[in-house]
Structure 1
Amino acid sequence: MTSLVTGATGFTGDWLARHLARSGDRVRALVRPESRERGRLLSEAGIEVVEGDLADVASLGRACHGVDVVYHIAATYRTAGQAATIYRDVNVGGTERLLNAAVDAGASRFVHCSTGGVHGHIEQPPADETAPLAPGDIYQETKLDGERLARTRGERGELEVVVARPIGIYGPGDARFLKLFKLAKGAIMIGPGRAFYHLTFVEDLVEGFRLCGTVPAAAGETYLLAGVRYTTLWELVELIARELGTSPPRFRVPVWPVWLIGALCELVCVPLRLEPPLYRRRVDFFIKSRAFDATKARRELGFEPKVDLDEGIRRTAAWYREQGLLP
Structure 2
Amino acid sequence: MRVAITGATGFLGGHIAETFAGLGWELSLLARSSDRAETVAHLGRTVVGDITDAKALDTLFAGADVGIHLVSNFRSASGPPESYHQTNVRGTQEAVGAARRAGVRRFVHCSTIGVHGHVRSTPADETSPFHPGDLYQETKAEAELWVQSEARKPGMEIVVVRPCSIYGPGDTRMLKMFRMLAKRTFFTLGACRENFHAVYIDDLIEGFRLVSTQPGIQGEAFILGGPRYLPLWDYLVTAASAAGAPPPWMRFPYSPVFAASVVCEKLCVPLRIEPPLHPRRVRFFRNNRAFSIDKARRSLGYDPRVSLEEGMERTVAWYRSQGLL
- Give 1:139's match in structure 2, choosing from 129, 136, 140: 136
Gapped runs of 5+ residues in structure 2?
Answer: none
In structure 2, C-alpha distance between the alignment counterparts of 1:105 and 1:298, rounded to whole Å: 31
2:35 match: 37
Which deviations, in whole Å up to 9, do the C-alpha atoms of 1:3-30 show, x marking residues without a partner? 0110011111111111111122111101
In structure 2, C-alpha distance between the alignment counterparts of 1:18 and 1:282, rounded to whole Å: 31
Secondary structure, counterpart of 1:29 in structure 2: strand
Secondary structure, counterpart of 2:239 in structure 1: helix
Output the amino acid matched with 2:16.
Answer: L
1:277 match: 276
2:17 match: 17
Question: Is contact 1:116-1:224 (8 Å) kept?
Answer: yes
TM-score, normalised by the number of residues in structure 2: 0.96
In structure 2, C-alpha distance between the alignment counterparts of 1:101 and 1:303, rounded to whole Å: 29
The offset of 1:149, in angstroms, is: 2.1
In structure 1, C-alpha distance between the alignment counterparts of 2:115 and 2:126, rounded to whole Å: 10
In structure 2, C-alpha distance between the alignment counterparts of 1:154 and 1:24, rounded to whole Å: 28
- Give 2:72's match in structure 1, choosing from 68, 72, 75: 75
Gapped runs of 5+ residues in structure 1?
Answer: none
Superposed counterparts of 1:122-201, under 5 Å: 122-185=119-182, 186-187=184-185, 188-201=187-200
The offset of 1:158, in angstroms, is: 2.7
The offset of 1:184, in angstroms, is: 3.0
Question: Is contact 1:118-1:143 (8 Å) kept?
Answer: yes
Which deviations, in whole Å up to 9, do the C-alpha atoms of 1:162-205 show, x marking residues without a partner? 00000010111111112332453334322111111110001111
The offset of 1:81, in angstroms, is: 4.2
* Aligned pairs, number: 323
Which deviations, in whole Å up to 9, do the C-alpha atoms of 1:204-257 show, x marking residues without a partner? 111111111110122110000011111111111111222222211223110011
Output the amino acid matched with 1:291.
Answer: A
2:56 match: 59
Secondary structure, counterpart of 1:111 in structure 2: strand
1:297 match: 296
The offset of 1:43, in angstroms, is: 1.5
In structure 2, C-alpha distance between the alignment counterparts of 1:141 and 1:57, rounded to whole Å: 24
In structure 2, C-alpha distance between the alignment counterparts of 1:266 and 1:141, rounded to whole Å: 18
In structure 2, C-alpha distance between the alignment counterparts of 1:73 and 1:251, rounded to whole Å: 37
In structure 1, C-alpha distance between the alignment counterparts of 2:241 and 2:96, rounded to whole Å: 46
TM-score, normalised by the number of residues in structure 1: 0.95
Does residue 190 of structure 2 align to residue 222 of structure 1? no
Q: CA RMSD in A?
A: 1.3
Mean CA deviation greater in 180-189 or 273-282: 180-189
Does residue 318 of structure 2 align to residue 319 of structure 1? yes
Question: Is contact 2:3-2:64 (8 Å) kept?
Answer: yes
Mean CA deviation greater in 140-149 or 293-302: 140-149
In structure 2, C-alpha distance between the alignment counterparts of 1:202 and 1:123, rounded to whole Å: 27
State, as a whole percentage, how many aligned pairs show the same letter: 45
In structure 1, C-alpha distance between the alignment counterparts of 2:306 and 2:223, rounded to whole Å: 17
Secondary structure, counterpart of 2:40 in structure 1: helix
Output the amino acid matched with 1:293.
Answer: S
Question: Is contact 2:5-2:29 (8 Å) kept?
Answer: yes
1:202 match: 201
